[in-house]
Amino acid sequence: MRTDCTEERLVFQGVGGRQVVARFDGGRITSDAGILLLREVAERMGLLRRFAQCFADHRDPELIEHTVEEFVAQRVLALACGYEDLNDHDVLRDDALRAVAAGKRDATGATRKRARDQGHALATTDAPTSGRRS
C-alpha cells in the first residue's frame, strides 16, 4: 500500500537565526515532534527563562558550553515528553530536535569544546558507571 506524504510545512520560532521547519517528507524523523509546540508555549510565556533565573551559576564562564536556561529547557521539556529518568538524557542528547527545543544554536553538537562531546548537542549526566547503586 502506497502512502502519500504531504508537502505541507510548519514554521516554528527560530533559534539563533536558524529557521525551524517541520516537514512531512520522511527526512530526519523524531518521535517527539510535540516538543516544538511545548517550546513555543514556554518561549512566549518566558517560562524557562524565568525558571532558569532561580538558579545561581557559579561555574567558570570560560568553561561553559550549556547555559542554565539550556539545562532547564532540556530537563523540563524531557519531563513534559514523559522522560522522567535522568539516564534518558544520555540517549536523547543526540536528538537534534531536542537540541533546538533546548535553545542550542548547534543542533548537531559539531562545535562542542571537548572532542568526546562532539556530535552530541545536549548535556549528559556524565555519571561514573562504577560504584552506583542499583
Grid cell 536556561 in the structure block, residue: 69
Which residues span the domain enclosing 107? 9-117
Residues in the chain, overall count: 134
- Predicted TM-score (pTM) of this structure: 0.67
pLDDT of residue 4: 62
Whole-number pLDDT of residue 131 = 40
Residue 128 lies in a domain: no
In a domain, 134, yes or no: no
Mean pLDDT, residues 47-59:
94
pLDDT for 1 equals: 53
Could you write out the DSSP letters of every residue in 52-86? HTTS---S-GGG-SS-HHHHHHHHHHHHHTT--ST
Which positions ≥6 away from 75 have C-beta within 8 Å?
89
Question: Is 129 inside a domain boundary?
Answer: no
Burial status of residue 36 (CB atoms within 10 A of its CB: 0-12, 13-18, 19 or more): buried
Q: How many structural domains does the chain have?
A: 1
pLDDT mean over 4-19: 71
pLDDT at 84 exceeding the cut of 70: yes
What average pLDDT is seen over the chain? 79
* 107: Cα separation from own chain's centroid: 8
Residue 4 lies in a domain: no
Higher pLDDT, 64 or 91: 64
- How many other C-beta atoms lie within 10 A of the C-beta of residue 59? 11
| 133 in a structural domain | no
Asked whether residue 126 is assigned to any structural domain, the reply reads: no
Determine contact, residues 30/95, Cβ cutoff 8 Å. Answer: yes
Share of the chain above pLDDT 90, in %: 17
Report the distance separating Cα 14 and Cα 9, nearest Å.
Answer: 14
Domain assignment present for 3: no
